[in-house]
Amino acid sequence: MKGIVLHGGHGTRLRPLTHTGPKQLIPVANKPISQYVLEDLKNSGIEEVAIVVGHIQPEEVKNRYGDGSELGLDITYIEQEEPKGIAQAVELCEDFVGDERFVVYLGDNLLKHGVGRLADGFENSDSEALVFLNEVENPEQFGVAKFDEDGNLEKLVEKPDDPPSNYALTGIYFFTSKIFEMIDQLETSWRGELEITDAIQMLLENDYHVDYEFVEGWWKDTGTPEDVLAANRLILDDDFEHELEGEIEDESQVQGRVAIGNDSKVEAGAKIRGPAVIGENCLVKGDVYIGPYSSIGNRTKIRRGEIENSILMQGCQVEVDERIVNSLIGPNSKINSKKSKPSGRKFVLGKSSELEL
């Protein structure tokens, strides 16, 4: 089985961060979101992967993952010049896939338990497709599954006003090469895209077997700053270990599960309360407080201030007399303040921003 990771899209809801890089490279717990996807595929026994890159800094993706050997993968890059839908991105991969079964995995999706059990099941099935469904509170914002009286998948409805169920399509699909015949027959939707839900619906209408599975644990689509921060909390709760590799002058000030990378220094008087992760070559001065669900990227210096439930990407500098909360701070940004303020601050800052309060 082969894998396709979709790494394109406009990322409009994550601007200004996506003005300078793909949304899938935004870090969660100090690791790019799409790296979790690639590691999931590797752990599921899928080693040949095509990454479909878009028009926003595709070279950053290639520089990050190279040929895939560091992750134990064989990566091929396929360019999608314009974001014309998931189905169009899949169509570009027809030569890469050949006659093999394959999984399509949106690069900004995260799963607690991964896709391993689905890959094994689909590999040994007679299905032409398998969709992965998750129960949601707002199904009108998703493609939604409709079932018949026997519980079989009957129809897929895109963003319905009156949803037939609460089960939404996630960004993970398993296919055989039969899907390419359906895509060839698609017409462009009102969004100017080739819709993968329409292609799957054509499989159903032509009496091909389309199976489904429900998500176990959590699934997160990281399309907004709030979603990214929520994913950061989920990963910090689940997937990292207490590991202190840097220099900590007073370990009694480090509470809970905290990871601190090589060549980082935490001065006496600083307080770090986990779950939290601090990267390599960071400096945390003595008056700083870093609260739960914070991820601090490599080479970041925090000289004054309080950070909580926030992501600071690599190379940031913070020197403030206030608290930064619920924030997503792009790489190499600087935040300084001269006057003390009593209330917390919330930011979404793009790459290399400078802010003086």
**Is 209 found in the same domain as 155?**
yes
pLDDT of residue 355: 66
pLDDT of residue 220: 87
| Its pTM surpasses 0.85 | yes
pLDDT of residue 354: 61
**Is 68 found in the same domain as 210?**
yes
**Boundary-marking domain end, from 213, 236, 259:** 236
Distances (CA, A) of 246 to 269, 277, 296: 16, 12, 14
**Is 247 found in the same domain as 137?**
no
| C-beta of residue 249 within 8 angstroms of C-beta of residue 266 | yes
**Is 66 found in the same domain as 211?**
yes
**Rounded-to-integer distance, Cα 202 and Cα 73, Å:** 33
323 contact partners, CB below 8 Å, separation of at least 6: 305, 306, 307, 308, 343, 344, 345
**Is 178 found in the same domain as 276?**
no
Number of compact structural domains in the chain: 2
Residues in the chain: 357
pLDDT of residue 325: 92
Residue 209 sits in a domain whose CATH number is: 3.90.550.10
pLDDT of residue 282: 97
**Is 245 found in the same domain as 228?**
no
Whose structure tokens read 């090589």? 262
**Is 313 found in the same domain as 226?**
no
Coil, helix or strand at residue 277: strand
**Is 262 found in the same domain as 228?**
no
| C-beta of residue 233 within 8 angstroms of C-beta of residue 153 | no
pLDDT of residue 289: 95
**Rounded-to-integer distance, Cα 264 and Cα 314, Å:** 13
Residue 325 sits in a domain whose CATH number is: 2.160.10.10
**Is 259 found in the same domain as 184?**
no
**Rounded-to-integer distance, Cα 299 and Cα 221, Å:** 28
Per-residue pLDDT of the chain (357 residues; tens, 9 = 90+): 999 999 876 656 666 665 666 788 889 999 999 999 999 999 999 999 999 998 778 888 999 999 999 999 999 999 988 778 899 999 999 999 999 999 999 998 999 988 998 998 898 889 999 999 999 888 888 889 999 888 889 898 888 888 899 999 998 999 999 999 999 998 877 777 788 999 999 999 999 999 999 998 889 888 788 888 999 999 998 867 778 888 899 887 899 999 999 999 999 999 999 999 999 999 999 989 999 999 999 999 999 999 999 999 999 999 998 899 999 898 998 998 866 555 566 666 666 666 666
Distances (CA, A) of 9 to 54, 80, 107, 193, 207: 6, 9, 10, 12, 32
Instruction: Name the nearest CA neighbour of 29 among 230, 165, 198.
Output: 230
**Boundary-marking domain end, from 175, 205, 236:** 236
**Is 132 found in the same domain as 193?**
yes
Distances (CA, A) of 234 to 30, 75, 219, 240, 265: 13, 28, 10, 10, 26
Question: What burial letters (b/e) apply to 81-95, b meaning 16+ CB within 10 Å?
Answer: eebbbbbbbbbbbee
**Boundary-marking domain end, from 214, 236, 258:** 236
- Token digits of residue 151: 């519980």
pLDDT of residue 63: 92
- Residue 348 belongs to what domain range? 241-356
pLDDT of residue 11: 56
